[in-house]
Structure 1
Amino acid sequence: MATRWETRGEKLVEDLQNVDTVAIEALANTVVQEIIDAYPNSINSRKKPLKEVRKAVESAFPHSATQASDNQYFTDSGIGKVGRYQHLALKYLTFRREDWNAIGDDARKEYIEETSKVLPVIKPTLPTIKDMNIEQLELDIETQQIVLDAIAQSNLSLAEFIQQACKVYAKTVTGKSRKYADDDLTGVLTAELLDANNKEYKTHPKKIEELTRRAIAAITKYNNEIATEQYQKWFISGTTINALTGSRVQSVNEILKSYRENIDTHHSKHVLTAYTNRGNGRKIEDEIDLVAMVPDGMDL
């Protein structure tokens, strides 16, 4: 289950489609303020939410060596200090306001030197599980109440309850993995894997990877054989595959790493970038019928 801020990051990615630089700044600032408002008295608690939101944006809008859009800006901070162009939203998704004005080589150099200064290391007192409170779990209101009710009925402390819950869930996950370890979904019809009411495959651990593999094949075939004009071709990303399969963008992006070399070769062949399909009002699911193009996983 996605966390509150992973979901907020995915929503931000949707909102960033086809907007100008002014709107990008406003959308990013809104998210930053939401995080600050959610943790008004704990600066450290804001770090993970911001990281999750930034990760969603970075996954949906990969950085590039050359500027591919006006919605990118140059930076050489972080990631090994390698110069690159990345989405403008990342410039504003930060609590370091001084970074916003780090424009130009001299300013960037000064900023990096300043932030790279070695500060004395102060080892904090590490909290123990007994110090934990339920707010730290960052649950939604409904789930938090369910957990509180369960703790009350179990006569366990929060720490003991979490330990037991981890134990039970770990056994469930590993048990399911062993159960499906030898399953091969290549012969299963695509329509069955996409059917949300199909109990046999709805939670199958190999379902997302198999659907991602088929979606890549469908987009590749469409670009190679059906799209006759450059503007008709589609860039392969977590977002486009999500539109075809319904799988979570972040889960798909992890799987795409295994196919990166072939995908990059395909993109180079057709001169496709993450900005190829922006602003034209088209939806990939209206043009590519995954079930019709790849009815099963055989011979891909």
Structure 2
Amino acid sequence: MGKWNAKGLELAQKLEGVTDEKAIKKLATETMQEIIDACPGEGSIKRPRAALRKAIESVYPSLNAEDNYPQGYYRTSEGKGKGERYEHLALWYLTTNIDRWSVEGDEGRQQYWGNLPTLEKTEPKPQQTKQQKPKQKETVMSQLNLDLDTETQQALDFALKQSGLEEKEFISRAIAYYAKSIANRHEVDFATIPTEKLLNDSSLAKLPGRAEELTRRAVRAISIYNDDIAPENSERWAITQSAIARLTGGRAKSIQKALEDYQGMIADHHAKYELNNYSNRKSGGRTIEDTINIAEL
């Protein structure tokens, strides 16, 4: 049995009889953090994560959506070709998408899916309406005179069909989305933005450069805490990808890239205090976000 299969079965054993979502979340995210710390990149994480999920699914299989809502499970239709069903809550948190770690409860999950930047897919139009679409398309396209190349036209036709929207509404949404995208790319001096706003202002969430700036501030905050505040070495924290993710809520891939500029400094800092990945496993289950507030340092 592989290391991560065994780790998955160990997690399954710890989950036995546990139905409180916060408790399940703590056990699952701690195990995922071990994988993130042990694996250098997203590519190497895939197999351990799959082994972990498979072990959980073998002990806590999905249940029919028509059954009564089981404790410790959540309702989902995720996955291509999979229908509505109940899955164990641990599977929600066994992901490198750290944004999901902060999403709790059915209402929170519904809001999470609803906030994803995808066009809503409406119910198919009646056959009569579909037959009228070509005429409407000719009118709109002739008015816009887009002069698209063949590949782009095919992509547009496919996207329009998948969206289920009337062509005029589809084009209006596409223009609005692209306009917002361009506006969001306007250069922002992140150095002038307070950390609290940078962390919590949703209008800044997808701007290029935000992840790099938050990573820089998190690295600085951990260094200050270790140098000036921690009373002894057992209280100090290693500067790792997962530690930065917990402090900033950023995505693992963005943080990994941003940390490339600080590898020399981090290596020197760790050598100074003899820190490594295991330094962040504190007694009593303490986490770095309970100790360090980057907005205050």
How would you bin the TM-score normalised by the shorter chain?
0.3 to 0.5
TM-score (norm 1): 0.46
> What TM-score, normalized by structure 2, do the two folds share?
0.47
Larger Rg: 2
> When you count helix as a share of all residues, which structure comes out higher?
2
